Structure 1
Amino acid sequence: MRVTFLGTGTSQGVPVIGCECEVCRSIDFRDKRLRTSIHVEVDGKSFVIDTGPDFRQQMIRERIHDLDAVIFTHEHKDHVAGLDDVRSFNFRLKKHMPLYATQRVINQLENEFHYAFGEITYPGAPRFEVNQIETKPFNVQGVEFIPVEVFHYKLPVLGFRIKDFTYITDANSISEEELEKVKGSKILVLDALQKEKHISHFTLDEAVELIQKVNPEQAYLIHISHRMGKHKVVEAELPDNISLAYDGLKIQL
């Protein structure tokens, strides 16, 4: 399995429009963060989790030519806004793109991209094969996904475990029952917005505490805002088995 971090930033990305803080002015490429998403290559298949506003740019940057399915964590705009650009894969691969999401997320996608979901679709619109998922394991072309339900304030969000890899974004709480699904993961990717307390995201300290509870071989932090601080500075403060992810980072399992 190979995982590529397509984006590691929060909903505004980094730099933030109009901001002159030291992080937004940083020349370190690791401080340039597109909206959070990953590309997973496993057992010969190619999956993307979430299609944020930067989806087109991320696909071009990573030269991703084949995509077998898109899996969604939740319906917030920074995780779905780039869905229209899936049509490039429709044209290239000559197939409807399989989407996997809960019914609540499907309803939102149908509303936002109504021209692609109606019985009479607009010419040139993206084409989808919609698959409803719940909180029980599901199979995507021979690959098992184990959903991990977390809460983003009061909104249920799905993380996913694929073999020994677990990916959790947009969260500030997780039950002990769901945490059991995560334990044993070799690699854990977890949301950590900033150092200060936030209503709907884990802080840096909260994320580190949860990671230490799970005790993976390695953990990576994502959904990072400019308020976290410079990558180089924060990275030096972290335990040996925890790192800040950055756009373009590739990990092999």
Structure 2
Amino acid sequence: MEVTLLGTGDTTGTPTPRCDCETCERAREEDVERTRFSVHVRNEQTDQSLLIDASPDFRRQFRREDVPLPDAAVITHVHFDHLDGLGNAYRLLDHLPVHAADEHDPNLGESVAEHVDSRYHYLDQVTVNPETPFERFEAAGFEVTLVPGVHPPLSTYGLRIDEPETGASLAISGDTSYAFPQESRDVLRGADLGIVEGIVHADLCEGHPAGGDHYDADGVPRTFGTKHMTLTGARALAEDLDVDNYRIVHTAHFVPASQAFADDVALDGERFEL
């Protein structure tokens, strides 16, 4: 299993356009990026590729990393920075099975799968496959399991990817607060690599209208507002999941430069052989 982090940033990415903060300036100086979130997973046994979330930066990411175009995709939730790149299937792909959760979301009025299907109904290349959380399904030769996260007001999902022949495994939290359910944690636990979401440093909770939540023993918030983890929360979740290695993703440029480039905070283009 070869894992490539195509996009490791939040909604605006780093460097953010027209931003002269220290973090964005340092990213420009070092020629590094955090584009909108996406992960490419290549099955070396079947020579197929699975795309986790379709970033609006799809074209740039695939050209830059020179990885194969996907044979299948999983969409974790319907926010634009995880979904809007799906339109790139037009003219690039002959067929793309897209897997998404089948649970009805009362705030959305439909499931993630139904939303993707209705939004991209005009793309003959896209076939949506509704999947039930906690039930394994096959995609690109992998065994995949969706698990619920906590990202109000919308439903969102993490996932585990297993390569049956080699036993390699990847866990992705998806966008979530630290209230990530215990049943979901149990599915992700013990993977070779964990990709966990951490949007900002904990001090920034003081300026959020909802503050922070899920404080650790030292009083540091592990949730920023209500729907994202802090860096502290991401590290705590990675520890609880007992993964062999982890990277923090979906990180915003609001993190000070002194923390934004820590070894465990991912940058685009990182690649792992599992």
Q: TM-score, normalised by structure 1?
A: 0.85
The correspondence for 1:188, drawn from 190, 194, 210, is 194
Shift of 1:25: 1.5
* Stretch moving more, 68-77 or 134-143: 134-143
Q: Distance in 2 between matches of 1:148 and 1:28?
A: 36
The correspondence for 1:82, drawn from 69, 73, 85, is 85
Tell whether the 8 Å contact from 1:193 to 1:204 is kept in structure 2 after alignment. Answer: yes
The correspondence for 1:50, drawn from 47, 50, 53, is 53
Q: Distance in 1 between matches of 2:65 and 2:271?
A: 10
Is the partner of 1:226 in helix, strand or coil? coil
Is the partner of 1:23 in helix, strand or coil? helix
Q: Distance in 2 between matches of 1:40 and 1:142?
A: 11
The match for 2:149 is 150
Q: Structure 1 vs Structure 2: percent identity of aligned residues? A: 30
Tell whether the 8 Å contact from 2:117 to 2:128 is kept in structure 1 after alignment. Answer: no
Shift of 1:155: 2.4
1:18-59 C-alpha deviation (Å, 9 max, x unpaired): 3221111121233x2110101000232211111111011111
The match for 1:160 is 159
The match for 1:121 is none
The size of the alignment, in residue pairs, is 233
The correspondence for 2:270, drawn from 246, 249, 252, is 249
1:208-248 C-alpha deviation (Å, 9 max, x unpaired): 11222222221100000001222x64455x7xxxx111101
Q: What one-letter code is carried by the residue in structure 2 that aligns with 1:207? A: A
Q: Distance in 2 between matches of 1:5 and 1:100?
A: 19
Do residues 175 (structure 1) and 181 (structure 2) align? yes
Unmatched 5+ stretches in structure 1 = 117-125
Q: Distance in 1 between matches of 2:136 and 2:87?
A: 27
Do residues 68 (structure 1) and 66 (structure 2) align? no
Is the partner of 1:184 in helix, strand or coil? coil
Q: TM-score, normalised by structure 2?
A: 0.79
Unmatched 5+ stretches in structure 2 = 103-110, 163-168, 206-223
Shift of 1:201: 0.5
Q: Distance in 1 between matches of 2:69 and 2:15?
A: 30
Tell whether the 8 Å contact from 1:166 to 1:187 is kept in structure 2 after alignment. Answer: yes
Cα 1:16/1:179, change in 2 over 3 Å: same
Shift of 1:192: 0.2
Tell whether the 8 Å contact from 2:4 to 2:39 is kept in structure 1 after alignment. Answer: yes
The match for 1:107 is 114
Is the partner of 1:107 in helix, strand or coil? helix
The match for 1:217 is 244
Q: Distance in 1 between matches of 2:88 and 2:62?
A: 10
1:81-137 C-alpha deviation (Å, 9 max, x unpaired): 1111112332xxxx3211111242233234433433xxxxxxxxx521221112021
1:44-85 C-alpha deviation (Å, 9 max, x unpaired): 221111111101111111223442111111111001111111
Q: Distance in 1 between matches of 2:69 and 2:12?
A: 28
Is the partner of 2:234 in helix, strand or coil? helix
Tell whether the 8 Å contact from 1:153 to 1:201 is kept in structure 2 after alignment. Answer: no
The match for 1:122 is none
Tell whether the 8 Å contact from 1:48 to 1:70 is kept in structure 2 after alignment. Answer: yes
The match for 2:221 is none
Tell whether the 8 Å contact from 1:184 to 1:214 is kept in structure 2 after alignment. Answer: yes
Q: What one-letter code is carried by the residue in structure 1 that aligns with 2:242? A: N
Q: What one-letter code is carried by the residue in structure 2 that aligns with 1:133? A: E
